[in-house]
Amino acid sequence: MAEAIIAKNLVKRYGDFEAVRGVSFSVKKGEAFALLGPNGAGKTTTVRMLTTLTSITSGEAYVNGFDVKRERLAVRKSIGLVPDVSNLYDELTVRDNLRFMAKLYDAPLERVEELIREFELPADRKFGKLSTGFKRRVTIASALIHEPEVLFLDEPTNGLDVHSAKAVRALIRVLNKRGMTVFITTHNMVEAETIPQRIAIMREGKIVAEGKRGELAKLIGKKVIVKLSVEPLTSSLLRALEEYDVSFDEGRLLLEVENVDEFLERLYSLKTELGFRIEGLCTEVPSVEDVFVELTKGCPCGGCPL
C-alpha cells in the first residue's frame, strides 16, 4: 500500500521557540491516522505544515506524492482541510459557500447539490445563522467539494455537543470506509478510540509513541485485565493462577495478563485438569486514554485537558 503522507524530521521554529521538533511518520493510503497530544504539543502546527498553511523550517513532507515545500498548489488540489474552527463566510448561504469552494477548486457545480443532499444541509440559510453542529457539517462538506484523496481534520469535534460530535465522528468513519485517507488531530479520547487505525502521541513538539492501540498499550507496560468467574473456586486453581497477580472484585477474579492467547490456552488446560466451570470471562484492554495520560504525564504545557 502506497503512502499518502510522509513526514521526515519536520521542524517548525518561531523565532527561538521550536513548536515541532523533528517529527517523522507516515500514513498509508486509505488509512485513518490520529495525532494525539495535549494543547500546545505541536499537532496543529504539524497539520499546518502538511497542508501548506505554514512554511516548514526544516525536514521534508510529501502528501499524495507531492513535495509540500515545492509543489504547494498540487498538494492543495489533492487535500481537504477541516480546521479547528468552522471558517466559512457568514453572509453567504450554505449553497453559495459551497459554490464558491467549487469555483476555487474547479469542481463541477453539480457537486454542490450532491453534498447538500448527502449531508442534509439547509442550503438557503446563511452560514452565520447556523448552529455550531451544522456549521461543522458544512465545513466538512466544503472540504470534500473536490473529492480529495486526503482529508485533514484538526480537532473536528471541538466545541460540539455530544450528539453533533457523535454525528461528525460517524461521518468521518464513513469517509474513511469509502477509501479516503483521514488524518485527525485531537485531544478527545472518544475520537482517538473510535476513528483511527493508527495513533501517534505528541508531546512538546515530538512524537513520543506511535502504533496501533494494542501496540501503544504495550509501550506503557500496562497489561490486559481478565475478569473471570469460575465454579467452584478452589485453592488449587488459585495456586495455579498465582503467576497472574490475582485479585478479587465482586466475587470475580481479576488477573493481569500480558498475552491473552497464552493465558486462555493455560486456563482451558487447567479446566480439563481441575474440572471447574467458566461462568464468565471478559478482558479489559488499556485504553488510549491510559496510554495518553501515562505518556503526557507532567507535560509542562499547562493546558492539558486531563
Partner 1 sequence: MKVLAIAEKELREYVLKPGSISWGIVFPLVFTLAFAVRFGDVDHLAPGLVSISVLFGTTSFVSSSIIFERRLRTFERLLVAPVSYSEIVLAKVLTGSIFGLFVGFVSLLFLRAFMVYPIWNLSLFVLFLVLSAFTFSALGLYVSLVVENPINAMTWLNLIRLPMMFTSGAIVSLLLFPKWFLVVGLVTPMTYSVDGLRFAMLHYYDVVNPIYAFLVLLLLSMVFLYLSILRVERLY
The answer to whether 188 and 283 are in contact (CB under 8 A) is no
Residues that bind partner 1 (CB under 8 A): 51-55, 73, 76-77, 79, 81, 83, 85, 87-92, 96, 100-101, 103-106
Q: Minimum CB separation from partner 1 for residue 112, in Å? A: 13
The grid coordinates of residue 236 equal 488449587
Q: Minimum CB separation from partner 1 for residue 35, in Å? A: 18
Judged by beta carbon, residue 103 or residue 117, the one nearer partner 1 is 103
Q: Minimum CB separation from partner 1 for residue 96, in Å? A: 7
Q: Minimum CB separation from partner 1 for residue 71, in Å? A: 11
Q: What are the Cα distances from residue 290, in Å, to 43, 176, 201?
A: 20, 25, 12
CA distance 69 to 125: 38
Closest to 105 (Cα-Cα) out of 148, 137, 55: 148
Closest to 139 (Cα-Cα) out of 117, 149, 154: 154
Half-sphere exposure of 132 (CA within 13 A, CB side): 12
CA distance 14 to 278: 60
Judged by beta carbon, residue 51 or residue 164, the one nearer partner 1 is 51
Q: Minimum CB separation from partner 1 for residue 103, in Å? A: 4
Half-sphere exposure of 42 (CA within 13 A, CB side): 26
CA distance 95 to 76: 22
Judged by beta carbon, residue 155 or residue 210, the one nearer partner 1 is 155
Judged by beta carbon, residue 139 or residue 164, the one nearer partner 1 is 139
The grid coordinates of residue 193 equal 478510540
Q: Minimum CB separation from partner 1 for residue 230, in Å? A: 58
Judged by beta carbon, residue 9 or residue 87, the one nearer partner 1 is 87
Q: Minimum CB separation from partner 1 for residue 157, in Å? A: 18
The residues with which 228 forms a beta bridge, in sequence order, are 253, 281
CA 172 centroid distance within chain = 10
3-class state of residue 80 by DSSP: strand
Judged by beta carbon, residue 90 or residue 215, the one nearer partner 1 is 90
Judged by beta carbon, residue 66 or residue 292, the one nearer partner 1 is 66
Judged by beta carbon, residue 108 or residue 300, the one nearer partner 1 is 108
CA distance 70 to 3: 18
Closest to 56 (Cα-Cα) out of 33, 41, 40, 72: 72
The grid coordinates of residue 72 equal 504547494
CA distance 106 to 40: 35
Q: Minimum CB separation from partner 1 for residue 209, in Å? A: 29
Judged by beta carbon, residue 184 or residue 299, the one nearer partner 1 is 184
What φ, ψ does residue 301 adopt, rounded to 5°? Answer: -65, -25
Amino acid residing at 233? L
Q: Minimum CB separation from partner 1 for residue 50, in Å? A: 11
